[in-house]
Amino acid sequence: MAELILGVDTSNYRTSVALVNEKGEILYNHRELLKIPDGKKGLRQSEAFFQHVMRLPEALEPALEYRDKITKVTCSSRPRPREGSYMPCFMAGERAAREVAMALNVPFSEFSHQEGHVEAVKYYSPLRDIEDAVFFHFSGGTTEAVYKNEIAGGTLDIAFGQVLDRLGQKIGLKFPSGEELDRMALTAGAETAVLKPVNIRNGYLNMSGLETQSMRQLEALEPDEYPTLVREVFHKLTDAIVRMTLYFKETLRTDRFIFAGGVSASVYIRNYLKENLPEEIVTVFGDPELSGDNAVGVALLGLSK
């Protein structure tokens, strides 16, 4: 009988359910953004938890049409694979996944949201079986470099995604605003030259300075000039990624890098890295649809772990 793995992920902004077979083929991939009221900067954990609980039955129903072939259920139960890592919103998915596993009488496994992000990219890449690679996780709440299951670098304050979302809200875009900002950066006819580069030390960086600079500069611009500043913000972000990559290449002696997380879906960032990193560096990006929050990664983890 074919082996099917059911995965569930309930991040702070998306309800996700996926079904994959033993070959890693995706049979079902439900990804639904939570509703964020206009003008709000995000959701409280209690609000996210409630929306997940209300949406999961409908999201799970199509996957459970395969109930007789499901051999394992997995979920993301915490943000990172670290002791003490915790967010209440993941409890909604863990609870639902555990109950489904009990009802189907099949094994249940839990992983972290970050591990799912990485696996969704790595599994379909040429580096699938490579352990000697740096994993960059760039998302709305996380900016980290992970090497051999240890954090090697990242931000010491706010994440890349937070800088972009706060900029988008200041401009008047709907939250989350990464995709719209990416389009603005790509279509801007030029860019400003008013922001200082992001400082990096030993693989770590601070992003609050770039946010403060961009907010201050935005106040002096007219709306039709916003894209030029947005383009420079993306430029400074991506330049920082280039310098981090070169630092890890030198210190960790690896030329293989995997990019996961919603920010890594940016077309501007992908193009810039391909054009500005040395040819000997192998960079792997996932399908943009699988770079953001999804349950495919945690389902794939159930195939081998």
Give me the phi and psi of 214, to 5 degrees please: -65, -40
**φ/ψ bin of 164: left (φ > 0), alpha (ψ from -120 to 50), beta (otherwise):** alpha
Sort strands 70-78 and 4-10 into parallel, antiparallel or unpaired: parallel
Q: Evaluate whether 195 touches 210 at the Cβ level (below 8 Å).
A: yes
Q: Looking at this protein, which amino acid is placed at residue 252? A: L
pLDDT tens-digit series, residues 148-179: 989 999 999 999 999 999 999 999 998 889 99
Query: Among all chains, which residue has been given the structure tokens 């915490």?
Result: 78
DSSP string, 194-226: -PPPPPEETTEE--HHHHHHHHHHHTTS-GGGH
Task: Extract the residue ranges of the chain whose pLDDT is less than 70.
Answer: 1, 305
pLDDT tens-digit series, residues 178-211: 999 999 999 998 999 999 999 999 999 999 999 9
pLDDT value for 1: 52
pLDDT value for 305: 62
Give yes or no for a cis peptide into 176 (omega within 30° of 0).
yes
What is the three-class DSSP state of 81?
A: coil
Q: Long-range contacts for 271-277 (Cβ within 8 Å, ≥24 apart)? A: 272/234, 272/235, 272/238, 272/239, 272/242, 273/238, 273/241, 273/242, 273/245, 276/238, 276/239, 276/242, 277/242, 277/245, 277/246
Question: 243 CB contacts (<8 Å, ≥6 apart)?
Answer: 200
